[in-house]
Structure 1
Amino acid sequence: MYDNQYVNNDSRGPVTGQAQNQEDAELDIRALVLVLWRRKWIIVNTTVFLLVLSALVVFQLTPRYTAQAMLAIETRQNSYVDLEAVMSGVGTDQAAIKTEIDVLQSRRLVGKLVDSLALVEDPEFNRSLDTKRSLISYLNPLSYMSEAWKTAILGSTASTQSDEERAMAVRAKVIDSVSAALKVSNPPRSYTLHVSFESTSPKKSARLANELASIYLTDQLEVKFEATQRANEWLNERVSQLREKVRLSEQAAQRFREENQLVQTQSAGLVNEQQLAQINTQLVTARTELARIEARQGQIEQNVQNGSIEQSGLIEVLQSPLIQRLKEQESEIQRRRAELSTRYGPKHPTMQKIEAELADIKTKISLEVDKIVAGIRGEAEVAAIRVRALESNLEGLKRESFTVSRAQVQMRELDREAEANRLLLQTFLTRFKETSSQDGMQQADARIISEADVPTSASFPKKSLILMLVVFVGLILGVGLAFLLEALDNGYRSFDQLRQDLHLRALGMIPLVKKSVLQDGKPEDYIASKPNSSFAEAHRNVHASLMFSGSDGSTPKVLAVTSSIPGEGKSTATLCLAQILGRTGLKVLVVEADLRRPVFRQRMGISKEKHISLNMVLSGQAQGSGKTVYKDEKTGIHMLWAELTEDPQERFTSPEFRHFLSEARKQYDLVLLDTPPIMAVSDAMLISKYAESVMYVVQWEATPKGIVRSAVKQLSQTGVPIAGAVLTQVNLKRHRGYGYGDQGYYYGGKSNYYTN
């Protein structure tokens, strides 16, 4: 039963860091488990309270049922003819699917559902038609007032809205209620839409889901039909405008063509352009011909100057039939002259006649050559005149072409405008015909793949799940509350807390003796009547711990007993410890050193007239008074009681007090000084200076830790060694439930060692 936990750690040998860390971890886990065990009823009560409260709420809730219809967005569209639709199908990206979800949840579509099923007349969605009062309505004091009182308190609430405005406001509220019951979702990586409705009626929830899906598909067709109809009307109007525009542009082009005489053949372009091309071609040809003729003329002129025109070899000369005949005649005459020259002489008449014929022939040839040369010269003059005429015509056509070109620029602009209008008209006319043919070919972009069935079980509230969650939350909250209370706990319950917080040695733990056990007696009477009780054994354990608590390892002879505040059981512990030691045969003197609130005389029934008080000893009145020191006949202990004194510090600092303690050490085995509380007065600090050691008393669980820490800090400033601390008034039943595993655990158990 000794406090073996205070054996010197050096005797244990070296402890490895890993073993120490493992031990700390085990202690931490064990500490957490002990906290939960100590506060188990907090956890249980919190959980049960929340469970009962939630059960009351859950079973009062109106069950709601959820029905779900499934839609699939069509990723493929049937195309009967290769025509482009006015409205394209729904996209398959996430944004497009989100848009369709918003359409399903839109107030316009929900409004159609409200009108289709006349939900304005349904009390579930129109709260004004619900005559049932909720539990909260009974808590509203206005519900118990008459209309006159409401008007007097709140003022007039007369509405200025018309019937139509009130109906619209009611419809808007119904739409809000229906929208709150609607849920549309899209599973990941899927083109399906889940349309869910929650209602108090299973059939109604299924009917709402199916009706909204049907309205959604119909709305898609209506939207496409309206878009096609609007497109047809716009295209029809646009085609009429374009027809008029084409007519006006073609008339403007024709009028400009006539005003500027822009005559155009079917394939060769404008007449002016054709003439200019022809004249230019003729001029080139004429210039070429003129150059050729001038070249021949120059050659002939050169031959004429040289007199060799006949031998020039001109083609005209060579090809002239007359010259050819004259040449033949000349050749014949020269032949005859050659024949006759062999017979006749030059002056012979025959020869002279031949010469005259030859000369006549040459003359004729010369005349004919001259005619040819004159003809070539005339031809050159004609060619030159023709070139000049063509050049003159070309210049005139060029000037005219410039004017035509300027007009043609504007003409081409008018033609382009007319052509563009014709193309635009053709495009719009074709598109108009395509859209007109789509009136009966519209398809919805989604389809119903699963209609909503009537649910057989309520979707809300999930009673089992809610209660399980409440139990879980209750446990979590209870555990949190347990740790919070543990953190806010401001008292000492175990030796470990004393060691960790105050660095004090634990001397022992004194159980609380209930009043029913004392039976109007005192604890010191109980310890005298029950020397083998756990209460008595606890004081023996304190003495055993004090045996080696001196500064040099010896048992202190003068021991001061103090506490932080009054009521911690300091005086009771002193008296009981003295009685236990007195029974062992030790000479024990108990000194009541609390001169401000003395209680020993009345408590022990000491006679003031027969027995000496501490005041008499310190004042020197004890000698010769005829009085004796009080002695308890049962235990043999001696006791100096005290009287109330105005200035006790003067007595404790006097030489008489020091002389008294010196003599007491010689005559007694142990002197117990019952001092006042540290935080109440400073007497204990003065008295402790004359003691060999101090036993510090702490009331189990009751004394705040901050006060104890402050008191111990003040006491430690005196330099007197504190032997240790004693936990008093320990509730053994509660302490044992905390599972500390110390002396209190065994004291509270059923043991054959104790007779309680």
Structure 2
Amino acid sequence: MKLYEDYLFELTTFLFIRKKMIIAITLFISLAAVLITYFIPPTYAIVSHILVRGKRVEKNLDSLESTPSKVSELNKEDLNSEIELLTAHDVIRNTVDHLVANEAVFREMNLDENGKFQMVKNIKGNLESEIIPNSNVIHIILKTKSPHQGRIILENHLEQYLAYRSQIYTPSQADPFFNDQVNVYKKKILTLERELNNLVSKYETPDPFQEIENNLMIKQDLVQHLNQDKSKLIQKQREVSNLKAALENKNIQFFTFIDNLSITSFADKLQGLVIEKGELLRKFHPESTKVFRIEEQIQNTYAVLKAEVTTYLSEQENQALILKEKVASMASRVAQIDARNIDLHIISMSYQRVKNELDLMHSSYKTLMRRWEETIIQRASDTNALSLVSISSKPFFSGTPVFPNKRTLIPVGIMVGLITGVSLSFLFEYFDQRIKRPEDIHQFLGKPTLFSILKN
């Protein structure tokens, strides 16, 4: 009799005692695994992948700001949002409705609303998706009993997912919204254009600012010539005044300040006669015949000279009058330009207001048209290739059922059966307090064992 603990011996003895239970449980579970493997309808996996290239910048339809479209950097939350959208109840319901309407899969089933709900629930329970690590790819698995039906279901589901996603990011209400807004802005533009045309017709100027600028340039040139003509007029008036004063003088005037060939000729001749008279007076008496004759010549020549000067004065007065009329005309023209510029400045505020509103309306109209065209392109059914989400691999059958798998289920069944048998055997042995071996007498009762008889 052993008086010490031999654990290996105890374990061997335990396994030997409970070998029938261990073998029975192992065989039962292994047989169950074999039966499941060969008699349970297999479940197949239809696999597909979706590539998310970027996320769209949200645009407010009410905003008229021109927001440039750009692709932002993806994050994990964006990919999880795509997964939630992929497994959304509405997307799966659209898939079921489409399959029922086209009799692609459920042609032999007359599904009512409750049946469609159960079908949606069944597809949702068998649809799995996960993010492939270190990538922007979503791995999709649909478990089904029929590979052919499962592939059709998943293909239609991905189409409905892309359509539903496009509808969310570009809602159908965008078309009537942009249509109404475009019509409103078109009417506003036509009204402003009519108002602008009325201003142009009323004030006879297509651009008041340009006309003001042109008028200022003309005025600058006119003022320059006006100042010059005023100076000439003042000089001419002074010259006329000097001529009148000289003609009214009782003494003989030679008019040497006049730049005229005829007058200068008579003035020189008169000056010569005066000099000659002076020489004669030194020799003869003032009342002598020679002095009288020279005096007569002087008076005749002076009379002719005064006549020439009078004619010259008349010409100068006419020139002064012409200059005066020219100055008055130029001054009137400058005043008219100033008055016109004042009117143009007043209407320029209305013109600028209408022009600014018209430019703003045109800019808003162009933005709305561009946004409308973008919406139409984004909602087009043939632009999936341009979308930020695309199907990188179409749904395909993996080739082997995911459940049951002979290579894994049977060995696992044997291992589970063996572990379960040993575990249950240990449990029964622990609660079984009967004396089953001679050593148990000494261990539990503390009495010596005289002999033992084997049970037949």
Length-normalised TM-score, structure 2: 0.61
Question: What's the secondary structure of 1:184's corresponding residue?
Answer: strand
1:172 aligns with 2:172: no
1:181 aligns with 2:181: no
Aligned residue number for residue 244 of structure 1: 187
* Offset from partner CA, 1:427-452 (integer Å, 9 cap, x none): 65677678879968533453463542
User: Using a 3 Å threshold, how does the CA distance of structure 1 residues 240 and 190 change in structure 2: closer, same or farther?
Assistant: same
Bigger-Rg structure (1/2): 1
Structure-1 separation of matches of 2:162 and 2:270:
116
User: Using a 3 Å threshold, how does the CA distance of structure 1 residues 430 and 92 change in structure 2: closer, same or farther?
Assistant: closer
Which residue identity is paired with 1:73? L
Equivalent in 100, 108, 111 of residue 93 of structure 2: 111
What is the CA-CA distance between 1:37 and the residue it aligns to? 7.0
* Structure 1 residues 435-450: aligned runs within 5 Å: 441-444=382-385, 445=387, 446-447=390-391, 449=393
* Offset from partner CA, 1:58-116 (integer Å, 9 cap, x none): 4565454232333453869xxxxxxxxxx999997655544443343232332344342
1:463 aligns with 2:405: no
Aligned residue number for residue 229 of structure 2: 289
Equivalent in 221, 245, 262 of residue 203 of structure 2: 262
Structure-2 separation of matches of 1:53 and 1:285:
125
What is the CA-CA distance between 1:264 and the residue it aligns to? 0.8
Aligned residue number for residue 83 of structure 2: 101
Aligned residue number for residue 264 of structure 2: 324
What is the CA-CA distance between 1:208 and the residue it aligns to? 0.9
Does structure 1 conserve the Cα–Cα contact (< 8 Å) formed by 2:30 and 2:417? Answer: no
User: Using a 3 Å threshold, how does the CA distance of structure 1 residues 183 and 431 change in structure 2: closer, same or farther?
Assistant: closer
Question: What's the secondary structure of 1:69's corresponding residue?
Answer: strand
What is the CA-CA distance between 1:290 and the residue it aligns to? 1.8
What is the CA-CA distance between 1:409 and the residue it aligns to? 0.7
User: Using a 3 Å threshold, how does the CA distance of structure 1 residues 229 and 386 change in structure 2: closer, same or farther?
Assistant: same
Aligned residue number for residue 351 of structure 2: 411
Aligned residue number for residue 162 of structure 2: 220
What is the CA-CA distance between 1:183 and the residue it aligns to? 1.7
Aligned residue number for residue 63 of structure 2: none
What is the CA-CA distance between 1:179 and the residue it aligns to? 1.3
What is the CA-CA distance between 1:358 and the residue it aligns to? 3.9
Does structure 1 conserve the Cα–Cα contact (< 8 Å) formed by 2:47 and 2:398? Answer: no
Question: What's the secondary structure of 1:463's corresponding residue?
Answer: helix
Aligned residue number for residue 62 of structure 2: none
What is the CA-CA distance between 1:363 and the residue it aligns to? 6.1
Unaligned runs of 5+ in 2: 55-68, 431-437, 451-456
Does structure 1 conserve the Cα–Cα contact (< 8 Å) formed by 2:92 and 2:157? Answer: no
Aligned residue number for residue 70 of structure 1: 48
Aligned residue number for residue 289 of structure 2: 349
Structure-2 separation of matches of 1:473 and 1:313:
150
Does structure 2 conserve the Cα–Cα contact (< 8 Å) formed by 1:205 and 1:454? Answer: no
Which residue identity is paired with 1:175? V
* Structure 1 residues 461-540: aligned runs within 5 Å: 462-464=408-410, 466-467=412-413, 470=416
Does structure 1 conserve the Cα–Cα contact (< 8 Å) formed by 2:45 and 2:398? Answer: yes
Which residue identity is paired with 1:459? F
Question: What's the secondary structure of 1:459's corresponding residue?
Answer: coil
Does structure 2 conserve the Cα–Cα contact (< 8 Å) formed by 1:185 and 1:194? Answer: yes
* Structure 1 residues 710-729: aligned runs within 5 Å: 729=447
Structure-2 separation of matches of 1:411 and 1:58:
91
What is the CA-CA distance between 1:280 and the residue it aligns to? 6.3
Question: What's the secondary structure of 1:264's corresponding residue?
Answer: coil
Equivalent in 147, 150, 171 of residue 208 of structure 1: 150
Does structure 1 conserve the Cα–Cα contact (< 8 Å) formed by 2:27 and 2:417? Answer: no
What is the CA-CA distance between 1:207 and the residue it aligns to? 2.8
* Structure 1 residues 131-142: aligned runs within 5 Å: none
Aligned residue number for residue 434 of structure 2: none
What is the CA-CA distance between 1:453 and the residue it aligns to? 2.9
Which residue identity is paired with 1:213? E
Structure-2 separation of matches of 1:513 and 1:195:
61
Does structure 2 conserve the Cα–Cα contact (< 8 Å) formed by 1:101 and 1:185? Answer: yes
Does structure 2 conserve the Cα–Cα contact (< 8 Å) formed by 1:293 and 1:376? Answer: no
Structure-2 separation of matches of 1:343 and 1:513:
195
Does structure 2 conserve the Cα–Cα contact (< 8 Å) formed by 1:70 and 1:194? Answer: yes
What is the CA-CA distance between 1:326 and the residue it aligns to? 1.5
Aligned residue number for residue 433 of structure 2: none
How many residues align? The count is 402
User: Using a 3 Å threshold, how does the CA distance of structure 1 residues 405 and 36 change in structure 2: closer, same or farther?
Assistant: farther
Does structure 1 conserve the Cα–Cα contact (< 8 Å) formed by 2:46 and 2:141? Answer: yes
User: Using a 3 Å threshold, how does the CA distance of structure 1 residues 300 and 451 change in structure 2: closer, same or farther?
Assistant: same
User: Using a 3 Å threshold, how does the CA distance of structure 1 residues 37 and 364 change in structure 2: closer, same or farther?
Assistant: farther
User: Using a 3 Å threshold, how does the CA distance of structure 1 residues 300 and 66 change in structure 2: closer, same or farther?
Assistant: same
Structure-2 separation of matches of 1:184 and 1:288:
94
Question: What's the secondary structure of 1:452's corresponding residue?
Answer: strand
Structure-2 separation of matches of 1:404 and 1:191:
64
Structure-1 separation of matches of 2:343 and 2:35:
101
Structure-1 separation of matches of 2:411 and 2:242:
134
Length-normalised TM-score, structure 1: 0.40
Structure of higher RCO (CA pairs closer than 8 Å, 6+ residues apart)? 2
Question: What's the secondary structure of 1:282's corresponding residue?
Answer: helix
Aligned residue number for residue 452 of structure 1: 396
Question: What's the secondary structure of 2:361's corresponding residue?
Answer: helix
User: Using a 3 Å threshold, how does the CA distance of structure 1 residues 328 and 229 change in structure 2: closer, same or farther?
Assistant: farther
* Offset from partner CA, 1:10-60 (integer Å, 9 cap, x none): xxxxxxxxxxxxxxxxxxxxxxx9768756777997995985675476456
Structure-2 separation of matches of 1:196 and 1:98:
16
What is the CA-CA distance between 1:464 and the residue it aligns to? 4.2
Which residue identity is paired with 1:212? L
* Structure 1 residues 596-745: aligned runs within 5 Å: 729=447
Does structure 1 conserve the Cα–Cα contact (< 8 Å) formed by 2:30 and 2:410? Answer: no
Unaligned runs of 5+ in 1: 1-32, 77-86, 127-163, 486-510, 515-698, 703-727, 733-756
User: Using a 3 Å threshold, how does the CA distance of structure 1 residues 100 and 437 change in structure 2: closer, same or farther?
Assistant: closer
User: Using a 3 Å threshold, how does the CA distance of structure 1 residues 89 and 464 change in structure 2: closer, same or farther?
Assistant: farther
